[in-house]
Amino acid sequence: MKHLILESSYYRELQKDYTRYLERLGYDEITARSLPSLVREFFYYLERNNIGDIQKVSPRDIREYYHYLKERPNSRREGTLSESMISTHIWAIRILMNWLQAEGRIDANPLSMLRFPKPRHKEREVLTRKEIQSLYEGCGDYFDRSIINLFYGCGLRKSEGQDLNVKDLDFSNKLLYVRSGKGKRRRVVPVAEKVAADLKAYYHYERPQRLRKSKNPHKQKQQAFMLNRWGERLSGSVLWRALRRIVRDAGIKDPHRITLHSLRHSIATHLLEIGLGVEQVRDFLGHSYLETTQIYTRVNKSISDNNDK
C-alpha cells in the first residue's frame, strides 16, 4: 500500500501541507514521514469513493474507513492489519482533522465525537537471566556483544542505539549520553564496568576495521558508534538480522519472541528484581511518566508469582 498514486492535485497538495505542518511541530523524521503516508491511503480511499473535498468527509465516512482498515490485507505479512496499526492510521487522520479545523479549512471535525477501540497491548516479553547469559555466549565478537550491551545493558530503544555517536560515550566516567530520546528527551545512562569494557573493545579493535571500508571515513569517524560491515551507520534491518543471528547461535527456544525492545523490557524487570527504585529505573529508561515504569513492577510480580507455582 506504499505506492498508492493520488489522482487529485487537491489531495496531493493537502498531503504536502500536512507534512510541512508535522515538520513545523517538531515531529521526528520517521513520524513526519510515516503519518503522511497513512493519510495518503485515506485520501486514496476518499478518491475511490468520489469524495473530492475533505470538507465533505462525514463521521459515517470515517467509520466506514475504519471498517475498511480492519479488513485490508497486510502488505508485509499474511493476514490483516494489527490493532495497533489501525489505531495509528486513525491517529494520523485525527491529527489531520484537528489541524484543518484549527486552520478553518473544515467547518466541523468528523472525528470529534467518534471513539474507536484501543489496541490491546501484548504482555511485555521478559527474558530470564539465564537466557540473557545465553545471548552473550551466542555473540561471535565485540560487535555482537555491543548490540546486547546497548539494548540490554544500557536499556536503549532501537532508534537510540542507531543514533548513538562516538561522542555520546564517555568511557572514562562510564556514562552514555542519549542526546535525543523519545519525545526529544535527553538522559545520561550509567554504564556497568563490564559493559563499558565490551563497548570500548569494539570501539578500539573492531570499529576501525569497519570504518576503513566506509566511502567517507572522515565524516563517519566523528559520527556513528555502531557501524555495519561497510562502515556506515547501522540500519534497523541490519540490527534485526544481527540479533536473529545471535539468538540462533545462542540456541534459545522460541527465538521469534526476542526483539531489541524485549531486551529493554528485560533489563527494566531485572533492575527492579535486584531492588533498584522505580524512580531510578524510570530515569535509566528515559520514561516521561512514573506510571509507564510501574508497568514493569506488575510484570515483575507476575513472573515471581509464576515462579512460585
Each residue's pLDDT tens digit, 34-83: 899 999 999 999 999 999 999 999 999 999 999 999 998 887 777 888 88
Residue 300 has pLDDT above 60, yes or no: no
C-alpha cell at 278: 522505580
What digits encode the pLDDT tens for the residues 70-123? 998 887 777 888 888 899 899 999 999 999 999 999 999 999 999 998 876 556
What pLDDT was estimated at residue 307? 46
Distance between CA 154 and CA 163 in Å, rounded? 14
- In one letter, which amino acid is 227? L
C-alpha dist (Å) from residue 287 to 175, 267, 297: 18, 14, 14
Q: Is the pLDDT of residue 146 over 60?
A: yes
Nearest to 9 by CA among 58, 52, 38, 56: 52
DSSP 16: H
pLDDT at 304 over 60: no
Q: Which residue has the higher pLDDT, 177 or 305?
A: 177
The residues facing 154 across adjacent strands are none
CA distance 122 to 8: 39
**Contact of 220 with 214, CB cutoff 8 Å:** yes
pLDDT score of 299: 46
Catalytic residue numbers read: 157, 182, 261, 264, 287, 296
Pick from 157, 63, 64: nearest CA to 114 = 63
CB atoms inside a 10 Å sphere around CB 184: 10
DSSP per-residue string spanning 25-46: HT--HHHHHHHHHHHHHHHHHH
Alpha-carbon span 195 to 212, nearest angstrom: 25
C-alpha closest to that of 86 among 38, 15, 32, 31 = 38
pLDDT above 90 covers a percentage of the chain that reads: 52
Residue 293 CB-density burial (10 A; 0-12 exposed, 13-18 middle, 19+ buried): buried
Dist CA 169 CA 177 (whole Å): 6
CA atoms of 153 and 133, how far apart (whole Å): 12
C-alpha 141/C-alpha 160 separation (Å) is 22
Which pTM value belongs to this model? Answer: 0.60
SS3 (DSSP) at 120: coil
Question: What would the mean pLDDT of 175-185 be, rounded to a whole number?
Answer: 77
Under the banding of pLDDT at 50, 70 and 90, the label for residue 309 is: very low
Give the pLDDT band of residue 7 (cuts 50, 70, 90).
Answer: confident
Q: How confident is the model at residue 308 (pLDDT cuts 50, 70, 90)?
A: very low
Q: At what angle do helices 236-250 and 260-273 cross, to 10 degrees?
A: 60
- Look up residue 77 and give its three cell numbers: 505479512
Can you give the pLDDT at residue 301?
Answer: 45
Q: What is the pLDDT of residue 171?
A: 95
Average pLDDT over residues 205-227: 81
Q: What angle do CA 300, 279, 243 make, to 5 degrees?
A: 55
Q: Give the E-state strand segments of the chain in sequence order.
A: 169-170, 175-178, 187-190
Do residues 142 and 205 touch, judged by C-beta distance below 8 A? yes
Mean residue pLDDT of the chain comes to: 85
- Specify the higher pLDDT residue, 240 or 119: 240
Query: What is the Cα Rg of the chain in Å?
Result: 23
Q: Can you say how many angstroms the Cα of residue 165 is from the centroid of all Cα atoms in its chain?
A: 18
Cβ neighbour number for residue 78 with a 10 Å cutoff: 6
Question: Which residue has better confidence, 274 or 250?
Answer: 250
